[in-house]
Chains A and B, each alone.
Chain A
Amino acid sequence: MTLTETNPPAEALAAGGDLKPPAQAAMASDDLSPATRASVPQWTPPSGLARILSSGDHLTVGQMYVAFSLLLSGLALALGVLIGIEQADIDGGFGVFGDANEFFQVFALYRTTLILCGLVPLFLGLATAVIPRQLAASSVAFPRAAAAAFWTWLVGAITHIAATFSYGGLGSLQAGAAREQSVELTVLSLGMMGLGLLVGSGVVLTTLVTQRPPGMDLLQMPAFSWSMLVAAGVWLFSLPVLLANLVISWADMRGADALGFGGGAAPFEQVAWAFDAPQVYAWTIPMLGIVAEVFTAAHRSRPQMFEPMALIVGVFGFLSFGAWAQRFFDSDDPSAADAHIVTNQVVFTAFGLAIALAVLAYGGWLAFNGASAGRRPQITPEFALVTVSGALLTTAVATGVVRVAEPALGVLREADGDIWRGFFDAMDDLEGSSLLTGMMNLAVLGGLLAAVGGLHHWAPRLVGRPLNAALGFLSVLPLAGGAVLIGLTDVLSGFFDQPARPYETSRIADIDSVGFVEALNVIGLIGSIAVLAGLALVVLNVARGLGQPAEAEAGQGGGG
């Protein structure tokens, strides 16, 4: 027996097992008698909780990301239900929440939880588990860093939620010393989450750059790997800006009185760009890769014209980088000649229009691949999920076009403002309306559906066996139907001037038709409950898969 053979395998090392000291390893050589060799304590991998807590195995880390992000997505959707109940009687004062401040805090928590505790880590989990296999690598580039990133994110996420419910939140509409400390903790924990996601993105990106086998260039990677390359790149440049915003807020809060960055609702306002266009699209970039892989697998074909698709995903990623669009730093007086208003900038409008073209081009690529396959797609839960997710993203960017159209049509206003006055007034009103919430919900829920589709697609790899198809189909209807209801009702309400921030009671009086908007909100509430129920079915399906013995994964789960 050689020394090499006595050492635990690399994956076992990554799993955090107890290693023999070198001296003991050296003793286990051929020089020793069988009796002596038998007396040498052998390496045993940790089991149970110790295995999970100490693991640097990419599959285990990926599974933990997926499990916790699904649970936290459920929490976010539950918050969405509470917001929906509150909005069902929008002009009747505060019912579920005690006051505007509590509403504001849950409103902010819904966004941070849905995106930074749910969607992004879900994609990172899929990437951490799947990408090494797609690249024929034994692990991710920095396994320990991947594990550290996961635990940093998880501790940050739990602390963030706990701090918000402890009279914290991303700022406050009320002042008070005790409350401010909780706000500080909320800000710090959000920074901790951001740091974890940043390191996780860096690990995925490094893996994609360095762990490819010889001969495989970047454009030969599977579509999901390519989309994660683009996504992790955009996240790597976005998340530091989010951290910078949070650090400024926190530093300001350390003083006796916050001076502008940490006082009032400023902490949320500073990071609000992360939940609005164009950045909200950046969180969904990996869905383009998942859709491509599931779509071609359902047609039992290989992707045709991969390079154009890669270019489209790259352009989508570039256009979705939104850290520059920080409305917190807009001029106080929008009517001033030199006023700086982000949403009036040419680049904001141009990016909003161009990203719609990118999504259209992507749809064209899918249609071309469907036609090239020459056969009907195999209808699976993942195919249904990614189809709906694609439709949701398309609707989201179309909504974004409506939103940016007003500045784009400024030429018409200059030419003859009287003729188009009604139209322009309506477009003006859309800024700050619930249309923005609808756009965010459509994009993020689209991403969530695609991620669940990816879970089905790669389940043999992730949980050791395919997920139950019947349960999968059962979850598609509430997930897809609910997401459509949530998104579209918010968009429609926006046209009736429902504010994007419903806790701002001063704007409730501006709603055109309160009764109709409340009816839409009830429909949206039903959608929230449906998505929550659908997600519960997904969690049940995954738990059921994990609880059963693994099957051989050969031939199961496409996509590399």
Chain B
Amino acid sequence: MADVSVGMPLAAPLPRQRTLLVGTVLGTAASLMYFAALLGVYLRERADALSGSGEWIPSGADIQLAQPTVAAWTMLMSVVTMQWAVYSIARNDRPHALMATALTALFGLSVVVMTSFQYTEMGLVADESVAAVLIYTISGSHLAMIAVGLVFLLLMAFRALAGQYSSRQTDGFVAASIYWYAVVFVYVVIWTAIFVLK
């Protein structure tokens, strides 16, 4: 029997469901809202304290700008490596995609280490001032956000190793990159609002 489809136009391809991408964007938006709330409280309390007693960071604490600045630059460098991973997977260059992902994760881990070191150095006692409570809450929440980002990167790397991502399907890497850019953005805001302004 003759193929009845001969001569008929091809059906338009069904649009790809970008479920992971949309879900990640929504989750990232919720994370940003969470930090917006935390930072809103921080800035409000800081303004109140400065207009009242004139002191915000307790006098015994020594919050240096060096570690947060290095951490901020590290985070910014991770944007480049993250985008490198997306660029590579879109061109079927899996080795470079994995290497770039590993570098991004390494940058993230470095920020965790730097923040932990800063905790030991700054002499800010958690339960002695409102500023300390808020600084530990915000920076601790950001560490948790980095941890989630690292798990996300690890999962995408494993899935790439298994051949699930290539130039035909990059959603996982793009989703991970969107989340990671949010992690970096939040850190830059924290760096400005907490460590630069103090």
Task: Identify the A interface with B (CB < 8 A).
Answer: 141-142, 145, 198, 202-203, 205-206, 209-211, 214, 236-237, 239-241, 243-245, 247-248, 251-252, 254-257, 259-261, 323, 329
Contact A202 B34 (CB under 8 A): no
Please indicate the chain A residues that have their CB under 8 angstroms from the CB of B133 in the complex: 248, 251-252, 255, 259, 261
Asked, given contacts A237-B33, A255-B126, whether A214 binds B15 with beta carbons under 8 Å apart, the answer is yes
> Is B103 interfacial (CB 8 A cutoff)?
no
Q: Is the interface of B mostly helix, strand, loop or mixed?
A: helix
Please indicate the chain A residues that have their CB under 8 angstroms from the CB of B23 in the complex: 141-142, 145, 202-203, 206
Please indicate the chain B residues that have their CB under 8 angstroms from the CB of A214 in the complex: 14-15
Contact B14 A329 (CB under 8 A): no
Please indicate the chain B residues that have their CB under 8 angstroms from the CB of A240 in the complex: 30-31, 33-34, 37
Q: What is the size category of the interface that chain B forms with chain A? A: 20 to 34
Contact B30 A251 (CB under 8 A): no
> Is B169 interfacial (CB 8 A cutoff)?
no
A259 to B22, CA, bound (A): 40
Asked, given contacts A214-B14, A255-B133, A257-B127, whether A241 binds B34 with beta carbons under 8 Å apart, the answer is yes
Q: Looking at the complex, which of B73-81, B134-142, B150-158, B185-193 is the stretch in contact with chain A?
A: B134-142
Contact A206 B19 (CB under 8 A): yes
Please indicate the chain A residues that have their CB under 8 angstroms from the CB of B36 in the complex: 241
Contact A329 B33 (CB under 8 A): no
A407 to B19, CA, bound (A): 46
With most chain A CB atoms within 10 A of its CB, the pick from B17, B26, B136, B141 is: B26
Please indicate the chain B residues that have their CB under 8 angstroms from the CB of A202 in the complex: 23, 26-27, 30
Contact B41 A206 (CB under 8 A): no
A211 to B18, CA, bound (A): 9
Contact B129 A259 (CB under 8 A): yes
Q: Is the interface of A mostly helix, strand, loop or mixed?
A: helix
| Per-position 1/0 for B93-131, Cβ under 8 A of A | 000000000000000000000000000000000111110
In the assembled complex, the CB of B25 is this many whole angstroms from the nearest CB of chain A, namely 9
In the assembled complex, the CB of A333 is this many whole angstroms from the nearest CB of chain B, namely 11
A257 to B130, CA, bound (A): 11
A255 to B34, CA, bound (A): 22
| A210 touches which of B19, B37, B136, B140 (Cβ 8 Å) | B19
In the assembled complex, the CB of A217 is this many whole angstroms from the nearest CB of chain B, namely 12
Contact A236 B38 (CB under 8 A): no
> Is B29 interfacial (CB 8 A cutoff)?
yes
20 residue pairs bridging A and B, Cβ less than 8 Å apart: A141-B23, A202-B26, A202-B27, A202-B30, A206-B23, A214-B15, A237-B29, A240-B33, A240-B34, A241-B33, A241-B37, A245-B41, A248-B38, A248-B41, A248-B137, A255-B127, A255-B128, A261-B130, A323-B37, A329-B41
| B29 touches which of A142, A236, A254 (Cβ 8 Å) | A236
> Is B44 interfacial (CB 8 A cutoff)?
yes
A248 to B140, CA, bound (A): 11
Contact B17 A211 (CB under 8 A): yes
Contact B34 A244 (CB under 8 A): yes
Please indicate the chain A residues that have their CB under 8 angstroms from the CB of B26 in the complex: 202, 205-206, 236
Please indicate the chain A residues that have their CB under 8 angstroms from the CB of B22 in the complex: 141, 206, 209-210
Given contacts A203-B23, A206-B23, A323-B33, 17 further A-B contacts (CB under 8 A): A141-B22, A202-B30, A206-B26, A210-B22, A237-B30, A240-B33, A240-B34, A241-B34, A243-B34, A245-B37, A247-B137, A251-B126, A252-B133, A255-B127, A255-B128, A257-B127, A329-B41
A214 to B14, CA, bound (A): 7
Contact A210 B18 (CB under 8 A): yes
| A259 touches which of B15, B19, B37, B127 (Cβ 8 Å) | B127
Contact A329 B30 (CB under 8 A): no
Please indicate the chain B residues that have their CB under 8 angstroms from the CB of A252 in the complex: 133
In the assembled complex, the CB of A88 is this many whole angstroms from the nearest CB of chain B, namely 39
Please indicate the chain B residues that have their CB under 8 angstroms from the CB of A329 in the complex: 41, 44
A69 to B61, CA, bound (A): 48
Please indicate the chain B residues that have their CB under 8 angstroms from the CB of A261 in the complex: 130, 133
In the assembled complex, the CB of B34 is this many whole angstroms from the nearest CB of chain A, namely 4
A237 to B137, CA, bound (A): 20
In the assembled complex, the CB of B107 is this many whole angstroms from the nearest CB of chain A, namely 26
A202 to B34, CA, bound (A): 15
A261 to B44, CA, bound (A): 13
Please indicate the chain B residues that have their CB under 8 angstroms from the CB of A244 in the complex: 34-35, 37-38, 41
In the assembled complex, the CB of B185 is this many whole angstroms from the nearest CB of chain A, namely 15
Please indicate the chain A residues that have their CB under 8 angstroms from the CB of B17 in the complex: 210-211
Please indicate the chain B residues that have their CB under 8 angstroms from the CB of A256 in the complex: 127
In the assembled complex, the CB of B17 is this many whole angstroms from the nearest CB of chain A, namely 5
In the assembled complex, the CB of A30 is this many whole angstroms from the nearest CB of chain B, namely 25
A247 to B33, CA, bound (A): 14
> Across the two chains, which residue of chain B brings its CB closest to A247?
B137
In the assembled complex, the CB of B182 is this many whole angstroms from the nearest CB of chain A, namely 13
Contact B19 A142 (CB under 8 A): yes
